Structure formats: C-alpha cells, structure tokens
A and B are shown apart, each in its own frame.
Chain A
Amino acid sequence: MSTTSIYLEGLSVLGPGMANWEATAACLRGEQDFVAAEVVLPAVMALPATERRRVGAAVKLAMATGFAAVADAAADAAQLANIFSSTGGDCDNCHNLLEVLASDERLISPTRFHNSVHNAPAGYWGIATGCTSASTSLCAYDATFAAALLETATQAWSSGQPCVLIAFDTAYPEPLYTQRPIPYPMGVGMVLSPQRTAASKAAMQLSFSQDALDVMADAGLEQLRQAIPAARSLPLLHLLASGQPGRVVIEYLAGCALAIEVAA
C-alpha cells in the first residue's frame, strides 16, 4: 500500500565531492566524474558568536545542510517543523566525554555535556532560526535516512505544513572509528510539503517493500552508499537528478525496504 503524495520543494547535499546539489546532480547524471574530495564545513554564521564557538563538525554539517535545503525551497526556516536524523550525532564530542570519563579526573565540560544530547544540532537550529515548531531528532543506525523521510512525510501530512528533513553523519575518531567507519561527513536536506505548490520539484509516494535494493552503478558512489547512512539516499537522489519519473527502493531495515515512487 502506498501513501498519498509528498512534494519535494527544496533539496541539498553536502558531502565528499558534493559541494552542493547542482554539482552532485551533474555527477549523478554522469556529466561529471565523481571524485570524493574532502568536505568543507562552513562556520555557522546564523548563531550568536558565543554559541558559534561551541559547535563542532556535526552541528556545522547539519546547519549547512538545512540552510541550503530551506534556501532551495525559498522557505522560511522559522516556520518549518524540523526532523534531524543521524546515526551518531556529534561523534567527536562523544569521544571526548568518554575519554574524560575514563581518566582519573572526571571533570567534564558542561558545554560538552549539553552538546552530547542527540538533539544538540536541533537545539542550535532553533537558536539560529528562532523556530518554535516541533523538532524531532532520530537515529536508526544505517536506516537513518529512510527513517527521517518517513518521519518528515508523516509530520507534514499530520500538520498540513511543510517540514524540513536534515540527515547528517560524521565519524568517531579512534578507537570507535574501527567499529563505525564512516569515511566522510555527509548531509542530505529536503523540504517536503503536503500540498503541491509552484515550488514543487517532484511528487513522492512511499511504501514498504521486500524488493531488491537499488544500488549505484558508479563504484565510488556505491562505496559511499554502503558506508554512510545519509548516503543510503543516493539512489533516490540519482532518480531526482534525472528529472524523470520512476521508482527506487532504498535501504531501510532488515525485512523492510522503502520504495519511493517519483512523479513530476
């Protein structure tokens, strides 16, 4: 059974060799070769200077991803309920806390502690945008993107309002890196509306599926798809970049893939 349609109004990507959606779309269409260049994360100028100093890579990535999606939709971030989704949240911060707690002097920094909550990027987003709407922060391990797409679509349908999805992943340093090797930070943002508007780029219908997963033909992109939870979205982004209608099946949970029917 498929859902009713959800309309894509804004899209953003920030990742290795993916500086923005236009460049990524060109790669996905095969117009440019994909090269996994390092990711440059901008400072969060929307935050007050005191807060700006307190945020690390995860918050910078989430903010840049979210603001680019909102700008692409020509929407107002202050009006959008938001869904943040990440497998590990701020992994550098978590590692630092674990090191301090394993030391003889367990004097952990209060700022590091409040930054350790999984919804810290969402909290900073609220401070930066002034948005007082509902905000949810999710984790589903490798299924983090599909979980966010489901949460954002259902939130938009329930509220009757557009919502912004921000899926982002960063890596732990060693020793946890060995258990969770995420090679590059990557973020994917979407503004989804429950109604078709002049800004709608595509209509999507969602359903659970047992079908085989779509994979990427390009070996480098396929490697990313398998290594970064946010990159599990690449088959969908590939279809969206083509501008054509179609159907993709992306990875969700064991025994439950997510099929997305894309129409104009």
Chain B
Amino acid sequence: MQALRLSAYTLTSALGAGLSSHLDALRQQRGGIVKKHWETVESDVCVGEVAGLDQVQLRPELAAYDCRNNRLAQLGLEQDGFVASVQEAMARYGTGRIGVFLGSSTSGILSSEVAYRQRDPLTGSLPPEHRYRETHNAYSVADFVRHYFGLSGPAVVVSTACSSSAKVFATAQRMLAAGLIDAAIVGGVDSLCLTTIYGFSSLQLVSPEPCRPFDGERDGISVGEGAAYALLERGELAQAGDILLTGVGESSDAYHMSSPHPEGLGARMAMQQALLSAGLQPADIGYINLHGTATPSNDTAEGAAVLSLFGTTTPCSSTKGHTGHTLGAAGGIEAIICALALRAGVLPGGVGTRQLDSALPCHYLLQTREQALRHVLSNSFGFGGSNCSLVFSQVKA
C-alpha cells in the first residue's frame, strides 16, 4: 500500500494526557489501573480512568454534545499541539478535503444509562435535557470532532468493538488512495460506562485485580478509557525521523461472537496481510504491541498466532496492563504507543504480568528496553471476530 505520514499524533489515557506522560510511564513501567468505587457500581472495580473529565468544559456552541465521552474526546484533542496541526492542514487543503474517521465501541452511552434511571415515573419518558444524537449515538464522537474543527469533508465512526480505532487507519488509507481527501483525522475515543463494566463481568471476563496480560494466572481484563488521534497525510511528504503507517491487515474469525478462534487463525491472517501490504517479512518487525487483553482465551489465541508467524524471537508486549483495555479506543491508543516506541526507541515492558504463561513462549518483554526500532506491528481484535493489524515504520535518517 501507499504509506501515510502521521503528521501529528497524541493520546490520553489513565497514564495521563499527552505524549510525554505516556513515554515516561512506558520507560518507568508505570501503570494507571486503580481499584476504586466508580459511578454506581456496587463493589470496587479495577479501572483505567482518565483524570479530570468532570472538569472539562465543552465550548458553548458544542454544549449539546456534553457527556463523558465527548469531554474525553476534547481533552484528548487539546494535547501536544494537535489542534494547531489540524488547523494548518485545514489551511493547506480546505475544510472539505479532511476526513474524520474515529472508532468507538460504546460512545457516550453512559448518558442514556443515567437518563434511564431518571425516567418520569408516570410517562416513562427520559429527562428533557437528554441528547441521544449528540451523546449516545455511535456517530456522536465523530460529529463532535467534525464540529469542533468546522470541517466539511467525509466522516464516519467505525464500531467493531475492540478493533474499531485500528480499522479507521485502513478507512483513511482507502479514502486517500481514492483521491476523495488529502488528509484525515483518525483515532478512537471510548469512555467508562456501566454497559461494559457489567457486561464483561456477566461474561466473567473482568479481573478482580489489575489485569495481567500473558501471565499464566491471568484472569480477565481491566476496563479502561482513552482518546487517541493521528493526522494522516500522504507518505511522500515524509522526512527522516517521521512515522509512517506502512501496512494494514483486516480479517474476520467467522467463529464465535465473544470468543476468538482458539488457534488465532483470524489474528494470524490479519498480521500476515499487514506484513504483505507493508512489503515486509516477520523478521523485519522489531516489536509487536499485542492486543493482550489478559483474558485466558484471548491471550492463548493471540499467542498461538504470534508464535506461528514470528516464532519466539520477536519482542512483544501488551500495554493493557498500563492503560486498561480502552476497548474501542484501544487500537488508536496502541497505534500511538507504537509511534512513540519508534520515535523514542523504547520497547515497553509489560505491567501487571508476574509469571509468563509457559504455554505461550513468545518473547514477551517484562522489562522495558531502549533500542532503535524500524518497523513495529500493532494488533487489535474484537468481539464478533473483527481483527485488524497495523504496521508502523520510521523513515531512516
């Protein structure tokens, strides 16, 4: 495929707002998952919560969009000079030539969860201030970002559970290749809500302690939240040191709604296609950011797929022990972590993992390593068997 340049990028998660807090956390192997009382959940739960969302204020003309998810969307946008980079692109290309393609799994459904507790006892109606379109609807976060910048080009939300914000990179790549746009804001935003905390609990997939990816005694995820964005432009603009999206691979398990294919066939196909589209061999990849959710079956399937394609030598880790599983934002968060890894030459050691699963002899990093990287791979796999792998590369000096 034609490579795309990440002209600007940023991320916000339980590790902090912006790139520098994340790079620091990766170097220090600091995690952000905390066991606490959250919203009206009866017992304490381990969450990767973003600090300060209650204090975020949307601009007055965007007040209809006010909800936890769009506050997180705005907080995330306003880090690392990302807004200025988008505005420069708007001046360069025009507002109609920049797409907005974001991933989210639950968008601002928390606002409807709360509104359903406040229904009129006589009529059953929701409180009049509830705004379904601007908060709960799956498109609301892309609508918010499009309005935030005053853009007039294409926009869509990809909602394929936990692969959502990896797949938007592929959507943008295809729209650029078709000549419909000159640049795209891609990324993902997903925020804590009752649906996912109770939902994953109903499937017995939530760990009582901070999650432990690829650990022999792993027992489930920790739900997190986050926002990540990249501004994508054509690769020919790239200069030495820039980060490129060089490969995308997508596949479906066609197996089960909530369990991965046990041998990771769909995961393997996505990784193979990503390598093929990048024109690379497995040995070219210096680090794999695993999906690594820390559920027993997910890590087993992904481990099998990684072993079958890469063997036991390629360094890999999951950063969900740092951030929690940010679900629809995870693909975007981990794409930006890959960009950081390339830029800083940091291979993140896992957080939370004590004793590696002996059945998964991948080269899983328990210690952060400083080493120059050229190409890295990021995996994102979701419910419904939706798989996406991305390859990022750094332009040689």
Contact = CB atoms under 8 A, between A and B. Distances in A.
B155 A117 contact: no
Given A1-B179, A154-B174, A126 B252 contact: yes
A137 B265 CA distance: 21
Contact of A178 (B116, B125, B137): B125
Given A117-B384, A119-B161, A133 B154 contact: no
A224 interface: no
Nearest to A98: B116
B152 A256 contact: yes
Interface string B101-128: 0000100010011001101000011100
Interface residues of A, number: 68
B159 A108 contact: no
B51 interface: no
Interface string B312-343: 00000000000000000000000000000000
Contact of B160 (A131, A135, A252, A253): A135
Given A135-B252, A141-B137, A108 B198 contact: yes
B269 interface: yes
Interface in A35-89: 51, 81, 87-89
A154 B130 contact: no
> In the complex, which of the residues A119, A120, A158 has the most CB atoms of chain B within 10 Å of its own CB atom?
A119
Please classify how large the interface on chain B is, using the bins under 10, 10 to 19, 20 to 34, 35 or more: 35 or more
A199 B374 CA distance: 45
Interface stretch (B138-146, B239-247, B347-355): B138-146
B139 A139 contact: yes
Contacts of A134: 170, 250-252
Given A122-B386, A179-B132, A253-B154, A137 B160 contact: yes
B397 to A, nearest CB: 31
A184 interface: no
Interface string B260-301: 000001100100000000000000000000000000000000
Contact of B112 (A4, A123, A176): A176
A155 interface: yes
A198 interface: no
A236 B145 CA distance: 29
A176 B382 CA distance: 27
A118 B170 CA distance: 18
Interface in A112-140: 113-120, 122-124, 126-127, 129-140
A90 B381 CA distance: 21
Interface of A: 1, 3-4, 51, 81, 87-89, 94, 97-99, 101-102, 106-110, 113-120, 122-124, 126-127, 129-141, 143-144, 147, 150-151, 153-155, 157-158, 174-176, 178-180, 206, 208, 252-256
Interface of B: 1, 42, 95-96, 105, 109, 112-113, 116-117, 119, 124-126, 130, 132-133, 137-140, 142-143, 146, 152-161, 167, 170-171, 173-175, 177-180, 194-195, 198-200, 202-203, 250-258, 265-266, 269, 382-386
